[in-house]
Amino acid sequence: MKVTQTLTNEHYLILKVLQLLNQSRKELESGKIIPGIFFEKAMAFCSDFADQFHHFKEEFLLFGLLSYKKEGELDSAMGTLRYQHERCKHCISQIKKALDGYNNKKEMSVTFLLESLAVYVSLLRRHIYLEDQIFFPMAEKALSTAEKKSLQEQFADEENRLGSKESIFERNQILADELAMIMNSR
């Protein structure tokens, strides 16, 4: 049983949105106009799905269990991942702050937006690489079958806590498709 598969599946969706944000950054650099609604919806995705839903499960459920189980052995790796989560959260708040000015065509806001987009995309891609390739395989080795089962149940509880009729994953899948449509239908 692979308990980190749920998190890796969420990474695929996050990477899809990161690709669109990267595309928007490149287009902004060359003077193309990206509708403000794209960034508003993208930040709703990043804030609700990537930051609050996905990072919460990693930090408070997976890291918490690993910290207890390995008695500090993985604390340095988890410290780095936590720091990256914090920096990503900061970028989201900087992008949100820049949006009013961006919608009012203020060049300074375009500057803030470009700066935070570049950092966000780069940091989160590196972060996902570290988790998928190094940290999650390490976690799979460290946890017993019973611990993985319990963790899987906690992931499901978290989803039920936040879920409505459609799951939070499906809702955000639809949002990611909407973002792709905005970017590709201009």
Chain contacts with Fe ion (rule: CB under 5 A): 58, 131
Least distance (Å) from Fe ion to the CB of residue 135?
8
Tokens 């990161």, residue located: 18
Least distance (Å) from Fe ion to the CB of residue 147?
19
Residue 41 Cα to chain centre, angstroms:
14
Least distance (Å) from Fe ion to the CB of residue 22?
18
In the bound state with Fe ion, the residue whose beta carbon lies nearer, of 58 and 183, is: 58
In the bound state with Fe ion, the residue whose beta carbon lies nearer, of 128 and 182, is: 128
Least distance (Å) from Fe ion to the CB of residue 185?
30
How far is 97 from 184, CA to CA, in rounded Å? 25
In the bound state with Fe ion, the residue whose beta carbon lies nearer, of 38 and 131, is: 131
Q: Which long-range contacts (CB under 8 A, 24 or more apart) does 127-132 make?
A: 127/81, 127/84, 127/85, 127/88, 128/11, 128/14, 128/15, 130/80, 130/81, 131/7, 131/11, 131/58, 131/81, 132/8, 132/11
In the bound state with Fe ion, the residue whose beta carbon lies nearer, of 91 and 131, is: 131
